[in-house]
Every structure is written in structure tokens, then in C-alpha cells.
Amino acid sequence: MALPLIATIALIFRLIPLRFKYMLGYDPYFHLAYIREALKAGEWFNFLTIAGGPWGYQVHNFHPLGLWMTPAYVYKLLSIFGVSLYDAFRITPVIFGVLTVIFFYLALLKLYDEKRAFFASLFLAVSFGHVFRSMANYYRGDNYMLFLYSLALLGTALALKTRRSRRYRKLAFYLVPALASGFASIFWQAYYPIFIFLLANSLFLAVGAFLLKKDKYMLDSLCLALSTALGALMANYLAGSFGYGMLGYNRWLGKKVAEKLSLEFGLIKDVYLLVHLKYLLPLGLAFIVLLLILGRFVKSGKVRLGILSVLALLGVLIIFARFEALKDLSTGFGIFKEAPIQETRPSGFSDLWGAFSIGLFLAPLFFLRFTPRKVKVYDFLLLGLIIPSIYMIKTWTRFLFIGSMGIALMAGIGLMELYELPKLEGRKGMALTLVLLVLLPITDASLGFQRAWEERPRMNGAWENALVWLENNSNGNDIVMAWWDYGHWVTYYSRRSPVAQGSPNRGVARYYIGRLDENWAGGLGVDYVIVSYYDFLKFGAIVETANVKGDYGMVVLPLLSSSGAFIFQKEGYSIVAKPGETWEVLINVNGQTLAPVEAYIEYGEKVERLNTGPSKFDAYVYMNLNYGYAVLMNGEAFNTTLARLFIKPEEPYELAYSDGGIVKILRLRHPNVIVKKTGGKVLLEFENATGTGLGIWGYLDNGTQVFKKWYPVKGLEEFELPGNMNGSVVVRYTYVQGKKVLDRGIFRMP
């Protein structure tokens, strides 16, 4: 009964977000957009032209193909039951999240007993740290990696429990971690932790065997370590078909890290796999063999412990002496120093509590097992998961998910160790059982359920309406400017190419605060600019990303009352606006009363400037009565492009779409290229045809440039693309006037 109960609980927790129409976060929309386009095209093509504007996006330089193929095959399987692609995609994370919990339970059941397996798996099933990235409506690649590690752990447990006399079966079980680690490479670009976990498992297994004088497990340690070699070779081979990880030879980060570590690519075309096979694995094997040899001569437990301490210190020194650049590992080798995001900051207590709740405090109890009477080699084996997990959790909040298995393992087993510690009988024993085995798990589950229930989609009807409108009222090759958070939404709903998506973009940030102008945007081919109420809420992040000096002040205040006067208030700020021929608008900032220089009000379909009289204070107000909020700004914030476009757009911008105060879309009027595909021909029409030259670049789907030519187009209103472009399937164009870029874009050939 334990396994069905655990699986049911895991399933319920992960299905909670399915009650929403929209998916959580931003990234899932990009993944689903690519799957949709690939299924429509009938192939897993590389060059996606509705992302990465105006250059396009080469998908094979992002994640390996398995990340997108899996939901597609889930859809094909479930479509016979009428399940849509959208719903199949939404439930795919749940399938692998629940399977992770199941395999985790089976592995611990083999290594320990039903009680410890049950509670450890229960903590994983309800841990928000694991639920968050394995629940419906939120699709991420690390879910596959942890699933495959749970399978590898089960294979390892089965191998350890197989008698040595059945050596072929034992070796077959060690193929499971090899295959699991190899296949992990086709689902997620940062799959490398599975190799770290498995190699660490093998090393700590050897340590346990050495300290506990269980020499028979040394062979298991060697087999597990060698399985990672097979997995690494398999990952390297599969990368040729499915795409390389983020440290691959053809990825900018892979090239950068290889240079820092003084590595050269050859047969092995991935930095981590190269380091693993050339350095980490040989050192690990040497360590295991050395312990095996020393175990035959050194019998004293204290001496063995001393030897281990020296060898461990020596190993760390050797690794960091050879690879000094590893000191930058915690910052992703510096890639997130300039533009950190929420996922790449160190975990604080609130992050840990939100992810693990009570399990966080139970986890240290796992080490109660490390007494001479209780400790087993399996406890050491699991340190290979626990110790790297703790380091990863400390480093980035993104790794809370990957570390959730280690924390759940410690919490579940630690709970049982605490329960079995005292010898209480009668009522005291019953009370202890009730508190430890009933109340604590229920409380932990309740907290995890609450966190999962509180998650809300950022996407909403206002955004969907605006972006669908954009798809229906713009050209297929138009480029869109939006804050980077919303770029994936533009790709999915509008099927247009955004300038920024997936990561912070300093240029876009500087554009929104006015440090870059419409000429810069036009040079990127931007045809539409999106501004929104949510940009006001993220104004601080925009300024921080722009990394410029300035005194920008902006506060968004909700409407509290509209009886007699409109009152907006929030944390020390308030705005009171009394209607009249001359509006009386008063601002209160921490007890100081001010009058605005300018005040605007939006109601219905109009934005009007109010007659408020003169003011000597540096304060500006925008009030939206359609949605009940106000924005208080100083002059520097009011004069940003973001505020101006939202409140009072001027030439060369034209308001194209507005829902009255949530999302607005402006058209940037500039000499524009419109791509039309008719009768087997591709025509480039010039709107406001002031250009003198047109550059055409043709590419194969793999990104190889096969065509490049400039054409004089002065006085022309259209240009027919040449028929012979050396097999180009994707075309980039640049429309210029002299040396000034007027428009850019990208499109796929018919």
C-alpha cells in the first residue's frame, strides 16, 4: 500500500496548477511554441525565425532535442484519446515528476526498509522544491535529469543487493546508471550533475567500504565509477544527433570555459565530459584502487580515517591546481555576474523554507546513522547525492529542485532515526509516534500544498488578447520590442520575433529608460513596441539591468477609494485626486504633501492631461481608472521611453492597440520591409521606400551561411528575391540608406 499512496500524493500535488488555463512562468511558452512549429513543419528544424529577432534563433544551440521531442511523443500517444498538444505538454512534467518519486522509493526500499523509503519519498512527494519544477503547467529540463538519476539510483541499489555469484546480473544493473547518465544528455543542456552525483556515489561507497572494512563493496565502487565513463561516451555520441549541452564545443560557454581551463576538444566535444573522462574519473579510480590496496595493510580505523582526510585534501588541491578557473564555478564562469536573475542568486533562509519547510530542520538528523552501531555502506553511498546537493542549493536558488532529493532523503531517514532513538512505551510512545510520524509529515505536506496552491500564472487574458491581436494585425516578419520576461509569450501567442527573451537584455533596458532611442530600435528592425502595467512594477529591475546612473523614482499605488475623491495608497505613499474643472491632486510622501507638475488620467479609451495648476515639486502622476491604479514618478522616470509610450506617445510612435491600461502596443513608424510570398515568389515590399541598399543573407537550416549579396534598391518599392540562393531555407535582410540601417528582419523560405 505504501507505493500507491506515495504515487497518489505525488500526483495530486503536481496536478494542482492544472486548474489554471495558462502555464506558469515564461520558458514553457517558448518550448511549446517550438514543438508546435516543428510538428507543423513535420521535422525538428533548427532555425526558428519567430524568436531571437532580428537574427533568428538556432534551437540546437539551446537545449538538446529530447526536451521538445518528449512532450510531442506524449501528445501523439494521448491524442487518440482527444488530448490536445497544449494539455499533453502541460502534464508531461507531472509524469516524470511522479516517476522520480516512485523510483526513489524503490531504490530506498532496496537499500533500507519500507519505513525509511516511505517517509523519504513522502517528503520528496510533497516538497515544493521538487513539486515546483515537476508540476503541471511548468516545463523544465532538470526534471528529466533528476528522474534519470532516480532510475540510476535504483539500478545501483539493485546491483549492490545482488550477490557476487550472479555477476552478470550485477553488471547488467550497473548498466542502468550508465544508460541513465548517457540519456540525460538529450533532455537538458545542463545535465552534468547526474555525472557528479554518480561519481560521488562511487567514491563515497569506497570510503564507506574502507572505513567499515567491507572490502567486497570496492568492486561495486569501481563498477559504478566506470559506468559513468560509458555514460559520458554515450552522451558525447548522442550529442551529434540531439545537440550538445551548454558546455559543448559549438556553444559560446563551452568555448569560453575550455579556454579558461586550457582544454582542447578532440573526440570528446564537451568540456565537462572531457574533464570527467580525462581527470575526474581517473583520479576517482586511482582513489578507489588506492583504498583497496591500503585496506589490505591498514587495519586501524583511526589510521584509515586519517589517510582518507589526507587523500581528500590532496584530491581537492590537485583539481583546483589544474583548473584554477573552477573558482568561478558558482557564477557559471562569470555569465551571471553582469545580469543576475532570480534563479542565479544564493539561496536564503526564506528560499530554503519555501522549498523544504519542516524537512529542512529534519535533514541533519540523517547523520544520527553515523554511529559505529548503525552506519552502513549505503549511508556513505548516499553522501554522494547529499554533499553535492547541499553545495548546489547554497550556490543558486535554481538548484533547490535538484537538491530536493537529497534533502528529502535526509529528512525521511533522519525522522526515523529520531523516532527509534528513545525507548518509550505506553502513552509516551504513542505521543511520540503521533508527533513524529503523523503530525510532522502532515504539517510538512500542508505547507508544501499551500505553496503549490499559491502559485499563479503570470500570463493572463489581457496579455493573450494583446498578443493574439498582434499576430492578426502585423506582418509575419515584423520584429517586436518587449521586456525580456515577455519575449517567449510574443513567440508563442503572436508568432513574431522579439528582440529580447529568456535572459536580461541591457540594450532593451536602456531603450525603455530612454538611453537608446528609436533609431537604435529601428536599426534592429523593430516594428512594434509593447509597454505594460507590469513594466511599471518591474521598473526597478529595468533600471538595474540598464546599469546607468540616474535618479529614477517610480511607485505603483492601488486604488483604495473612489467615493468623492480617488484615493491611491501604498506603504508611505498616497495620491488623492478630487475631480473638478481644475483637478486637485495631492501627493503625500511619508507625511510630506506635494503637488504634481503634471497629472494624467486614463478612463475608457482616452488619456487626458489634467489641469492641476503650477507646482515646484519634481512629481508626476498617471492615474488609471479602468483598472484602479496610479503611478507616481519623478521627472527622470516620467521622461523615460517606457512612461512616455504608455501615457503620451508621440511621433514616430503610433498607438496600435490598447486595452485601457494593462497592455499597449505601439507601432514604430520607419522605412519598413514587408515580406510577401505569392505564386512561388518572395517579394520584399518597401513601406516608405527611402532606402538605397538591400543586403540579403541566406542560410541552411543548420545555420551555415550559403548566400550573401547587396542590391541597389534606390527608388524601388519592391524587390523580388532571387530564385537561386544556393539552397537557402532562412533569409536575413537589412534595408539601408547609405550606411544607416533602416530595417532588419528574418523569414523562412516557402
CATH number of the domain that 686 lies in? 2.60.40.10
Q: Give dist(CA 414, CA 431) in Å, integer.
A: 18
Count of CA atoms in the C-beta half-sphere (13 A) of 324: 3
Which band of pLDDT confidence, cut at 50, 70 and 90, is reported for residue 324? Answer: low
Residue 176 · residue 152 · CB < 8 Å: yes
Count of CA atoms in the C-beta half-sphere (13 A) of 417: 22
Inside any domain, residue 315 = yes
Average pLDDT of the segment spanning 427-453: 89
Last residue of a domain, one of 399, 425, 452: 452
* DSSP letters spanning 725-744: STT-SEEEEEEEETTEEEEE
Residue 56 · residue 47 · CB < 8 Å: yes
Q: Using alpha carbons, select from 409, 507, 401, 514 the residue that is nearest to residue 112.
A: 409
* DSSP letters spanning 59-106: GGGSS-THHHHHHHHHHHHHGGGT--HHHHHHHHHHHHHHHHHHHHHH
Average pLDDT of the segment spanning 731-750: 95
Which band of pLDDT confidence, cut at 50, 70 and 90, is reported for residue 166? Answer: confident
Q: What are phi and psi of 246, to 5 degrees?
A: -65, -15
Average pLDDT of the segment spanning 450-472: 97
Model confidence over 544-577: pLDDT tens digits? 999 998 899 999 999 999 988 999 999 999 999 9
Phi-psi region of 526 (alpha: psi -120 to 50; beta: other; left: phi over 0): beta
The cell numbers describing 145, all together, are 535529469
Judged against a pLDDT cut of 60, whether residue 602 lies above it is answered with yes
Which band of pLDDT confidence, cut at 50, 70 and 90, is reported for residue 338? Answer: very low
Judged against a pLDDT cut of 90, whether residue 302 lies above it is answered with no
Name the CA dihedral angle for 652, 658, 661, 663, rounded to a multiple of 10 degrees.
-90
Place of cell 541597389: 712
Please provide the average confidence, as pLDDT, over all residues in the chain.
Answer: 92
Q: Give dist(CA 491, CA 52) in Å, integer.
A: 9
Higher pLDDT, 70 or 328: 70
Which residues 6+ apart lie within 8 Å of 397 measured at CB? 342, 343, 344, 345, 346, 347, 351
Judged against a pLDDT cut of 50, whether residue 405 lies above it is answered with yes
Radius of gyration of the chain (CA): 30
The cell numbers describing 651, all together, are 511621433
Inside any domain, residue 236 = yes
Given this model, what pLDDT does residue 306 score? 84
Q: Give dist(CA 685, CA 719) in Å, integer.
A: 6
Model confidence over 477-533: pLDDT tens digits? 999 999 999 999 999 999 999 999 999 999 999 999 999 999 999 999 999 999 999
How many other C-beta atoms lie within 10 A of the C-beta of residue 99? Answer: 18
Inside any domain, residue 578 = no
Residue 515 · residue 548 · CB < 8 Å: yes
Burial per residue of 111-140, b for 16 or more beta-carbon CB atoms within 10 angstroms, e otherwise: bbeebbbbbbbbbbbbbbbbbbbbbbbbbb
Inside any domain, residue 686 = yes
Name the CA dihedral angle for 699, 705, 711, 713, rounded to a multiple of 10 degrees.
40
Last residue of a domain, one of 426, 452, 478: 452
Q: Is 526 exposed, middle or buried (0-12, 13-18, 19+ CB in 10 A)?
A: buried
Domain boundaries, position 731? 672-748
Place of cell 581527470: 279
Judged against a pLDDT cut of 90, whether residue 334 lies above it is answered with no
What is the spatial order of strands in the sheet that 705-712 belongs to? 705-712, 693-699, 730-737, 740-748
> Length of the chain in residues, anyone?
750
Q: Is 327 exposed, middle or buried (0-12, 13-18, 19+ CB in 10 A)?
A: exposed
Last residue of a domain, one of 416, 434, 452: 452
3-state secondary structure of 470: helix
Q: Give dist(CA 480, CA 53) in Å, integer.
A: 8
Which residues 6+ apart lie within 8 Å of 207 measured at CB? 291, 308, 380, 383
Inside any domain, residue 254 = yes
Judged against a pLDDT cut of 60, whether residue 300 lies above it is answered with yes
Which band of pLDDT confidence, cut at 50, 70 and 90, is reported for residue 71? Answer: very high
Inside any domain, residue 408 = yes
DSSP 491: I
What is the spatial order of strands in the sheet that 526-532 belongs to? 497-498, 479-481, 526-532, 663-668, 653-658
Inside any domain, residue 320 = yes
> What total of structural domains would you count in the chain?
2
Q: Using alpha carbons, select from 527, 529, 525 the residue that is nearest to residue 735.
A: 525
Q: Is 425 exposed, middle or buried (0-12, 13-18, 19+ CB in 10 A)?
A: exposed
Inside any domain, residue 547 = no
Q: Give dist(CA 274, CA 262) in Å, integer.
A: 12
How many other C-beta atoms lie within 10 A of the C-beta of residue 97? Answer: 27
Pairing of strands 681-687, 672-678: antiparallel
How many other C-beta atoms lie within 10 A of the C-beta of residue 681? Answer: 11
The cell numbers describing 443, all together, are 504539517
pTM more than 0.85 = yes
How many other C-beta atoms lie within 10 A of the C-beta of residue 702? Answer: 11
Q: Give dist(CA 584, CA 613) in Å, integer.
A: 9
* DSSP letters spanning 379-434: HHHHHHHHHHHHHHHHH-GGGHHHHHHHHHHHHHHHHHHHHHSS---HHHHHHHHI
Given this model, what pLDDT does residue 326 score? 55
Q: Give dist(CA 110, CA 116) in Å, integer.
A: 11
